[in-house]
Structure 1
Amino acid sequence: MTAISVSRLSKRFGTTQALSGIDLSIGSGEMVCLIGASGSGKSTLIRHIAGLEFGDGGDSRVSIFNVPTQAGGRRLPGARTMRRDVSILFQQFNLVSRLSVLTNVLVGKLGRIPRWRGTFGVFSASEKSEARSALARVGIEKVWRQRASTLSGGQQQRAAIARTLVQKSRILIADEPIASLDPASARRVMDILSDINRTDGITVLVSLHQVEYARRYFPRTIAMRDGQIVFDGPSSALTNAFLSELYGAASEEFVLPEAPAAHPDHRPEPAVTKRLGAFEAA
Structure 2
Amino acid sequence: MTAISVSNLSKRYGKTTALDQVSLELQRGEMVALIGASGSGKSTLIRHIAGLEMGDGTAGKVTVLGNISQDGGRPNRSNKRGAVSVIFQQFNLVTRLSVLTNVLIGNLGRVPRWRGTIGVFNKAEKEKAQAALARVGIPQVAAQRSSTLSGGQQQRAAIARTLVQQAEILIADEPISALDPSSARRVMDVLADINNQDNITVLVSLHQVEYARRYCKRTIAMRDGRIVYDGPSTALSNAFLAELYGDASEELVLPEAPAEPMPAVPLGQPARQPALMHA
TM-score by length of 2: 0.91
| 2:75 matches 1:85 | no
Q: Percent identity?
A: 70
Distance of aligned partners of 1:203 and 1:167 in 2 relative to their CA distance in 1, 3 Å threshold: same
Runs of at least 4 residues off by over 6 Å = none
Shift of 1:57: 6.2
CA contact (8 A) 2:37 2:244 kept: no
* Unmatched runs of 5 consecutive residues or more in structure 1: 262-272
Of 122-131 and 246-255, deviating more is 246-255
Coordinate RMSD, CA, aligned: 2.0
Matches for 1:227-238 after TM superposition, within 5 Å: 227-238=225-236
Deviations 1:73-102 (A, max 9, x none): 101132xx3341000110000000110100
Measure how far apart 1:59 and its partner are. Answer: 5.6
Higher helix share: 1
Any residues of structure 2 matched to 1:11-160 within 5 Å, and which? Answer: 11-54=11-54, 56=56, 60-78=60-78, 81-160=79-158
Partner of 2:183: 185
SS at the partner of 1:23?
strand
* Counterpart amino acid of residue 257 in structure 2: A
Separation of aligned partners in 2, 1:96 and 1:90:
14
Task: Summarize deviations over 1:15-49 as a string: whole Å, max 9, x none.
Answer: 22100111010000000000000000000000000
Q: Which residue of 1 aligns with 2:274?
A: none
Question: Does the CA contact (< 8 Å) of 2:235 and 2:264 recur in 1?
Answer: no
Shift of 1:112: 1.1
Measure, in 2, the Cα distance between the counterparts of 1:259 and 1:68: 39
What one-letter code is carried by the residue in structure 2 that aligns with 1:94?
N
Contact 1:6 1:61 in 2 (8 A): yes
CA distance in 1, matches of 2:147, 2:242: 40
Q: Is this contact kept in 2: 1:59–1:72, CA < 8 A? A: yes
Distance (Å, rounded) in 2 between the aligned partners of 1:140 and 1:37? 32
Report whether the alignment pairs 1:279 with 2:269.
yes
Quote the Cα distance in structure 1 between the aligned partners of 2:93 and 2:37. 27
Give the counterpart letter for 2:104 in structure 1.
Answer: L
**Counterpart Cα distance in 1 of 2:55 and 2:264:** 24
Unaligned regions of 5+ residues in structure 2, if any? 272-279
TM-superposed CA distance for 1:161, in Å, is: 0.6
Aligned residues: 268
